Amino acid sequence: MAATVFQVTLLGSGTSTGVPMLGCNCAVCRSSDPRDRRTRCSALISFDGRQIVIDTSTDFRQQALREAVGQVDAVLYTHAHADHVHGIDDLRAYNMVSKAAIPIYGPPAAMAGIRRNFSYIFSGEVKPGFRPLLVPWDLAGDFVLCGLPIQPIPLQHGAEQACGYRIGGFAYITDCNGIPDESMARLRDLDLLVIDGLRFRSHPTHFSIPEAIEVAGRLAARRTVLTHLSHEVEHRRDQASLPQGVELAHDGQKFLLAAPEIAFS
């Protein structure tokens, strides 16, 4: 019988620098609260013995060790920024163990950036040394992956685009400062919204926490978790200031969600 739930693990909840930030001596970077230690933003979806990673962050190897991730069946990329991709080379360990290639998916712009920035992986040249065996796919719309229906959700990320993902009642919407109307329409009736909420002050490419709360309110998500947090956010202090149903993410946070039916049309 197919599994009835899937699990989401927030592998990392931090902004591009990570928290603590190198060279910074602020109170949050010196905090002893483990929730203030944030690796770069990414997530793991576990369903029916399969594992999908959303973004291979700069901290991917440490995250995978921490969460004992024994296999990766596929990767979904949100966009090609360094903090979301630069752990890509560590996927090769899973290739070595499984002796199989890993499919990786993202919107065409993201995949073009990844192919360009990591040309040694995709050049097809035969050279000594083990490079990751990855099969890149440009996403053109909804699809089924590891038994789950995946809905790519276009997002505005400053002058660029990022891609969120919806799986049943769960949506992962990081790295954005705007959501087009068509994407908003695809984010109704969510049990769990994980959304970019960088810091309280505004930013040119990320939602601030007040902006993320406003969007979550418009979507009426039943539970909202703010991620991609900077060192301006102190977990204990700032969690207390959030409205009902909204909370700050922390590394390793896990959620169980009802597995959606796959509708074949």
Which residue in 26, 96, 144, 184 binds Zn ion (CB under 5 A)? 26
> What does DSSP assign to residue 183?
H
Determine if 135 is a binding residue for Zn ion (CB under 5 A).
Answer: no
From the list 194, 175, 139, 189, the residue with the least C-alpha distance to 9 is: 194
For the window 28-67, what string marks contact with Zn ion as x by the rule CB under 5 A? -x--------------------------------------
Q: Is 66 exposed, middle or buried (0-12, 13-18, 19+ CB in 10 A)?
A: middle
* CA-based end-to-end distance of the chain: 22
Least Cβ distance, residue 234 to Zn ion (angstroms): 10
Least Cβ distance, residue 66 to Zn ion (angstroms): 19
For the window 219-238, what string marks contact with Zn ion as x by the rule CB under 5 A? ------------x-------
**Residue 11 phi, psi dihedral angles, 5° rounding:** -70, -40
Least Cβ distance, residue 187 to Zn ion (angstroms): 19
Q: Is 159 exposed, middle or buried (0-12, 13-18, 19+ CB in 10 A)?
A: exposed
CA angle centred on 211, ends 85 and 182, rounded to 5° = 70
Determine if 83 is a binding residue for Zn ion (CB under 5 A).
Answer: yes
By C-beta, is 29 or 242 nearer to Zn ion?
29
Which residue in 24, 97, 101, 184 binds Zn ion (CB under 5 A)? 24
Determine if 109 is a binding residue for Zn ion (CB under 5 A).
Answer: no
| Binding positions for Zn ion, rule: CB under 5 A | 21, 24, 26, 29, 81, 83, 175, 231
